[in-house]
Structure 1
Amino acid sequence: MLAVLFTETGVMPIRIRRLLLALSRLRYMVELGVERRVRWALLDAVDLFSMGHSSWAGDIAILLRALPTPIRIAPGDFLSVPAIEAITKKVVEAVDVDLQFDINFLQKTHLLRNRLEYVEASKTLSLVTRRRRHYLTMVPIPAHRIALTRLLLGDHNLSVERLRYRVRYRLPIPREERLCRFCRNAVEDEVHATLDCEAQPTLIDLRTSFLHDIFECDPPLKSEYEVLSHYDFLCRMVSSRKGVARLAKYACDVLAVFDSVERFIPAGYNVVR
């Protein structure tokens, strides 16, 4: 789950950040004139690296080989600005690919997969692995922001997550048996809690009010609600900058309703004390 720290804030992992700073420093040294002493030190480091001895250049090469997608660097690359720029770009790409791999395969982060973000440079929607997400900055009330973050990261109190693990007096429960505490007809997951469950009057009232408000905030959502699956529609609402604040409030209200009632535990999984 550490990957979400970087994908949701846009921050680069510190180890990679230090490597990028070293490559930036390397480029600066390459661009210096031959009369500068730091340039002489760079040439000595490259010579030592080419002979297989320890050096600053060798340390950079070791770090590049240790990346999730290893990058090889030749002695001549240390003295070429285009080569340094290309390697820097490859480092960023390798890190983003590794982070996206974690998001795609972690069970808790299924709502974060395949997100399309608006890219100003190309004026198009595309997959952006690392970015400070809009729901962290456009939801002004901390409790609402925390609730939406918990919902997206699988850190909530719904049975689909809480019954996954063994506790002292209960065995882990298969996903298909982690039923809703209200209707007991479907798995109590994020989509069921927010858009599907019809067995709790307060939940129905909250949903009706929410859909009315969010269709006013972002009118295209109304037509999408009629054609998309509820899972896809939930993902679509998360990407809506106009409606994300209202969605966050709704997530807070829904989770509070579920927290107020004891979850359903199917027979046969409690451990005899």
Structure 2
Amino acid sequence: MYNFSKSKKILFAIMAVSSLTFAACSQKNSSDENVTSNQAQTEYESKSSGTQAVQQETTKEQIKGVNKIALYIDHKDTGIHELADTYSSAWVKGKDIISFDAFGCDEKTFSSNGMNFKKLWESYWTQYEGYENSKIGYIVSFKLKSGEEINTTIKNPDDVFVYRNYLENYLYDDINQVQGEWYSHLLQSEVTDKTRMTSIKFTAGQDIDKVGDTIKLTAFVYNSDGDFDASGNYKGNVSYTVTIKNTAQ
């Protein structure tokens, strides 16, 4: 006689074993998925970390060069260089107004301590990594009494001729000279890759009476053409500006 009850028990046992096997497979698959997910996350984090390192290295390379500049008045009788801010004097046609020296620092005052200009200037300029590629430029801006605005970027000696009738500027390379001997202002034909326009002199032009009472001078550091926009305007962030006022008006 067929024992239905016994057969039913065997069937239930088979179903239970199958169910446990499926659960175990499901658990293993889930574990595998977790392992795969963790590996992918680890790989992503590793790649991200590598990308950040490259970005940090690129940024580090981009900031090489002189990253400070300021304009100073040289008090030759004391050997003290004083940080310039606003300089006021009477502008007289054909007469010198003021000269400024550009140094790679931002100290309020410093002494030459008996050093010649070349050694003093290089003691600041050469402290920066990549200083060899850093050059000095200037921006001269002023408004005529007619309302016309003059704004000129100076990277070469000939750039100053744009406004020469109103204001005469003379540029000097004080470090590539025989120290202690007399030398004249820099000419375009004398410019080389080693030239550094370390100082600038202002002289009142023939039409100085047509100029308003304020001149702005900005000294800036640049390392390549990438520091200028398509119009030739300086777009870097290493600069310093002084104001020159006319007390005769």
Q: Report the TM range for the smaller structure's normalisation.
A: under 0.3
Q: Which has the higher helix share?
A: 1
Normalising by structure 1, we get a TM-score of 0.24
More strand by share: 2
| TM-score calculated relative to the size of structure 2 | 0.26
Please say which structure displays the higher CA radius of gyration: 2
